[in-house]
Chains A and B, each alone.
Chain A
Amino acid sequence: MHSSAPGRYRRRVSAEIRVEGLADLEAKLICLGEVAGLKVLRSAARKSFAPVLEEAKRLVPVSDAEGPHLRDALALTTKAAGYIGQNVVATVGIQVKRLPSKVRRMLRKLRKEHGVTLSIATPRRYWHLVEFGASRTHAHPFIRRAIDAKKLEALNVLQSELRKKVERAMKKQHPGES
């Protein structure tokens, strides 16, 4: 598993899980075809990363202040990248969610119709200060610690989920075969 730390302007913390040493599973994934194979991989990757998200939510500092908390804005995100060479690639990560669309619409309306710009300290604006700190701010790393602590568990879940989902998808594609 390879994890990458995000830059300040990137809005997502992602981790790349490379499935190696599971040649039989990868061959079956390729057999399923691009659409079904990626769907299976993406779904298994999502499930495997759930413990990392839970750990990140446990580790992230929560203040007593009112307002949107960083913990509540953490969510899983997946993306099916497709085939790169011989490898089937999907990415999974933890994202910091935007404000609800209703609130964003309201803020836009306020700005356009009344010329009022409200600056809200949303989790997406400050998560990097919590994770990486600044010259005069302590870092409280929660994503990297969560990935480090749970990566082996994530790999184990990925392996078992992938096996289960690949078998199920193959049965669905070829109902007559055992």
Chain B
Amino acid sequence: MTFGEALYGLLSADDQVAAMVRANGLVKIFPDVAPQGVAQPFVVYHVVDDASIQTLEGASASLAQARIQVDCYAKAYASAQELARRVAAVLSRYTTASLTCARLSGHDAYDDEAMLHRVVADFSMWKRSDL
């Protein structure tokens, strides 16, 4: 499972996040860019850096870490903030033996082209595939 798939799985499995971004049966969580004409609110994620973990025996085959940027878009500033808070809550609390997430940083922005408020947050994700 890739980091993107893991992130999508976590967010779409959360009832509150899914309810916020669902429309016409589509859960609007997209990798890299949002499709043209998609209605707000929605979430876009980018894998910034997918690094292999170096050990004394070389690159680890089972342990991997990635920095993932998660952008929450909405027409209203408060809605974007609320969605971002929910996303952060889902990801930050998610810790199992095989997957861990932690929020690193974040900031607000405005998408001039789409005319939407945007909350950008970076998360660090670790996964173990040998468990």
Interchain CB contact under 8 A, B106 and A144 = no
Q: Is the CB of A136 closer than 8 A to any CB of chain B?
A: yes
Which residues from chain A contact B44 at a C-beta distance below 8 Å?
A: 133, 135
A3 surroundings in chain B (CB, below 8 A)? 105
- Bound together, the chains give a CA A136 to CA B49 distance in angstroms of 20
* Nearest-CB residue, chain A, relative to B110: A8
Taking a contact as CB atoms closer than 8 A, the residue among B49, B51, B105, B118 that contacts A5 in the complex is B105
Q: Which residue in A4, A7, A135, A148 is a CB contact (below 8 Å) of B71?
A: A135
A144 touches which one: B36, B67, B116 (CB < 8 A)?
B67
Closest A-chain residue to B124, C-beta based? A148
Which residue of the partner chain, among A4, A7, A136, A138, contacts B108 with CB atoms under 8 Å? A7
A144 touching B33 in the complex, CB below 8 Å, given contacts A5-B122, A8-B107: no
Chain B, range 1-47, C-beta contacts under 8 Å to A: 32-34, 36, 42, 44, 46
* B46, A135: Cβ atoms closer than 8 Å: no
* Chain B residues, Cβ within 8 Å of A128: 109
Residue B61 at the chain A interface, CB threshold 8 Å: no
A133 to B32, CA, bound (A): 8
Cross-chain contact of A135 among B51, B104, B116 (Cβ < 8 A): B116
Chain B residue contacts of A139, Cβ below 8 A? 32, 46, 48, 69
Residues of A within 8 A of B73 (CB): 135
Report if A136-B34 is in contact (Cβ < 8 Å); known contacts: A141-B46, A148-B49: yes
* A135 B32 Cβ-Cβ under 8 A: no
| A4 and chain B: residue at smallest CB distance | B105
Please, which residues of chain B bring their CB within 8 A of the CB of A135? 33-34, 42, 44, 71, 73, 111, 113-114, 116, 118
By a CB distance below 8 angstroms, the chain A residues around B32 are 133, 138-139
A126-170 CB mask vs B (1 if < 8 Å, else 0) is: 001000111111110100110011000000000000000000000
Decide: B48 and A133 in contact? CB cutoff 8 A. Answer: no
Q: Is the CB of B111 within 8 A of A134?
A: yes
Encode contact with A along B55-85: 1 for CB under 8 Å, 0 otherwise. Answer: 0000000000001010101000000000000
Inter-chain CA distance A6–B107, complex, in Å, is 7
Closest to A128 in B: B109
Write the chain A residue with the least CB distance to B73: A135
Chain B residue contacts of A134, Cβ below 8 A? 111, 113-114, 118
Distance in angstroms between the alpha carbons of A54 and B122 in the assembled complex: 23
The interface residues of chain B lying within 8 Å CB-to-CB of A138 are 32-33, 46
Q: What's the nearest-Cβ distance from chain A to residue B22, in Å?
A: 18
Rounded to whole angstroms, the CA-CA distance of A3 and B104 in the bound complex is 9
Which A residues have a C-beta under 8 Å from some C-beta of B?
Answer: 3-8, 128, 132-139, 141, 144-145, 148-149
Beyond A133-B32, A134-B113, A135-B73, 10 extra complex contacts between A and B, CB < 8 Å:
A3-B105, A5-B104, A5-B106, A5-B107, A132-B120, A138-B32, A139-B32, A139-B48, A148-B49, A148-B51
